Every structure is written in structure tokens, then in C-alpha cells.
Amino acid sequence: MATAPSSSKPQKISIRAEEWDRRLHEVQITKHDLNRLIMDYLVVEGYKAAAEEFSQEANLSPDVDLDSIESRMNIRDALHRGDIEDAIARVNDLNPEILDTNPALYFHLQQQRLIEYIREGRIAEALQFAQAELAPRGEESPEFLSELEKTMALLAFDVMPSAPPGISELLSHAQRMKTAGEVNAAILESLGQPKDVKLDGLLKLLEWGEKELSDRAEYPRLHL
């Protein structure tokens, strides 16, 4: 009688701490590469003063005009405080093609403007604005129409806590930050710069690598 094949998982190998440390130290990372990662973080996240100082200390030229950082941060600050008109004007001053070539971004800015009208209780203006500016775009795109309907549902509730989470979150500061992040990414892309911090990508890659390795070996793990 044939024996059924074993379904047990392969035994994991074990890597001692000393061996693991030795292997880690064999990986060569230059100071220049580390400085590039730091500069990338400062530029993408908008720390202009720190980027200027680090540029001098590390003798490293950034890949972008540092004055553009201040423009991006002014736009971000306007969005964080809910001044959407000012943010749109500043984006157009920086590069009018950003909104002309990105209808989804422009819609989300106008959606945020509608949210601010509702937040301030300017209901008549909100209805007029939605009908004139957002409804035509909603007719062109099912995605935009769904987002518009979700936003207009805010009018059915007197206070934020009474609304379902998926709707009430539109009035949160996190929604402003989400819109600001989308605008920041579009500006960076227009400047030919990566829209995401490289260090974040490396950390995600490290987490993925640890997960893959943990299926095959026992080893000293990093706790990030």
C-alpha cells in the first residue's frame, strides 16, 4: 500500500545572531546614498530650511529648486485650514497645467471646497456650487458622481456624529490632509520628482523581505 506524501512544511533553518550581524555588516551602503535618502525625505515632506542646511553640510545639491518647496507648503497650509480658493490660485500660479491636465485632482479640490461650504453652514452656496461646478463633472464620470452624492449626503445630517462614518469622515481634518497629499504629489510629478518618499518604499520592501524570510528561517528580526 502506497504511503501518502507528507504535508508537513519544510523545516526552517536557523541563523544565529552573530552570523546575522556579520551578513548585515557585509552590505555596503555609502554615505552618499544615505545623504540622498535624507535629502529626498526633506524635499518631499517640505522641510525647506532643513534641506538648505543639510545641502550645505553634506555638500549635496538637491534635484529640485528648493524655492518650490515653500510654494508647495503654502499650498498645503491653505488646504489644511480649508482655504481651497487660495490653494487653487497658488497651484495655478505655480503651474496652471497641473489642474488643466488632471481632472480628478481638480474635482477633488472642488469637492473639498463644497465640503468647506457645508462645514461652515453655507448651505445655499453649497447647493449652488454643487449644481454649477460639480454636477456637470459628475455626469461625465460615474466615479465623480458617486463622490458628489456622498458629499451631498452631509446635508442630511445636522451634526457630524450623527452621520455614518463613511460620510462624517469627509468633515475630518484627515480629509483635508488627504486632498493636500494628492495636490503635493501632483506638484512633485510636474517637477519631475518622485511623489513618494524613497525611505518609505525601502521600509515597505524591508517588511516584505522579513516576511518572506520568516517563512524559511529563524533569525533576529528588526522591530520597526
pLDDT value, residue 129: 95
How many domains does the structure of the chain reveal? 2
Query: Does residue 87 form part of some domain?
Result: yes
Kindly list the distances between the CA atom of residue 100 and the CA atoms of 69, 163, 218, in Å, as whole numbers in the listed order.
Answer: 21, 34, 53
Q: Smallest Cα–Cα separation from 188: which of 86, 75, 112?
A: 75
Please tell me whether residues 76 and 111 are part of one structural domain. yes
pLDDT value, residue 174: 94
Please tell me whether residues 149 and 199 are part of one structural domain. no
Query: Does residue 165 form part of some domain?
Result: yes
In this structure, what is the dihedral angle of CA atoms 38, 43, 46, 49, given to the nearest 10 degrees?
80
Please tell me whether residues 60 and 29 are part of one structural domain. yes
Query: Does residue 3 form part of some domain?
Result: no
pLDDT value, residue 159: 46
Please tell me whether residues 136 and 154 are part of one structural domain. yes
Please tell me whether residues 176 and 205 are part of one structural domain. no
Q: How many CB atoms lie within 10 A of CB 216?
A: 12
Integer Cα distance of 147 and 9 in angstroms: 47
Query: Does residue 160 form part of some domain?
Result: yes
- Tens-digit pLDDT string for the chain (224 aa): 555 555 556 677 777 777 777 877 777 788 888 888 888 888 888 888 888 898 888 888 877 778 888 899 999 999 999 999 999 999 999 999 999 999 999 999 999 999 999 999 999 999 999 999 999 988 888 889 999 999 999 888 754 456 677 788 899 999 999 999 999 999 988 888 777 777 777 778 777 877 777 777 776 766 55
Query: Does residue 169 form part of some domain?
Result: yes
Please tell me whether residues 32 and 75 are part of one structural domain. no
Integer Cα distance of 170 and 116 in angstroms: 10
Integer Cα distance of 183 and 169 in angstroms: 19
Please tell me whether residues 72 and 152 are part of one structural domain. yes
Kindly list the distances between the CA atom of residue 12 and the CA atoms of 6, 19, 215, 218, in Å, as whole numbers in the listed order.
Answer: 16, 16, 7, 7
Query: Does residue 6 form part of some domain?
Result: no
Integer Cα distance of 100 and 125 in angstroms: 25
Q: Is 36:29 a contact under the CB 8 Å cutoff? A: no
Please tell me whether residues 179 and 73 are part of one structural domain. yes
Please tell me whether residues 199 and 162 are part of one structural domain. no
CATH number of the domain that 21 lies in? 1.20.960
Domain that holds residue 79: 67-192
Please tell me whether residues 101 and 122 are part of one structural domain. yes
Please tell me whether residues 77 and 188 are part of one structural domain. yes
What sections of the chain are H helices per DSSP? 17-26, 31-45, 48-57, 67-80, 84-94, 97-100, 103-119, 123-129, 135-140, 142-152, 165-168, 173-190, 198-214
Kindly list the distances between the CA atom of residue 180 and the CA atoms of 91, 117, 144, in Å, as whole numbers in the listed order.
Answer: 11, 18, 18
Please tell me whether residues 44 and 122 are part of one structural domain. no
Query: Does residue 37 form part of some domain?
Result: yes
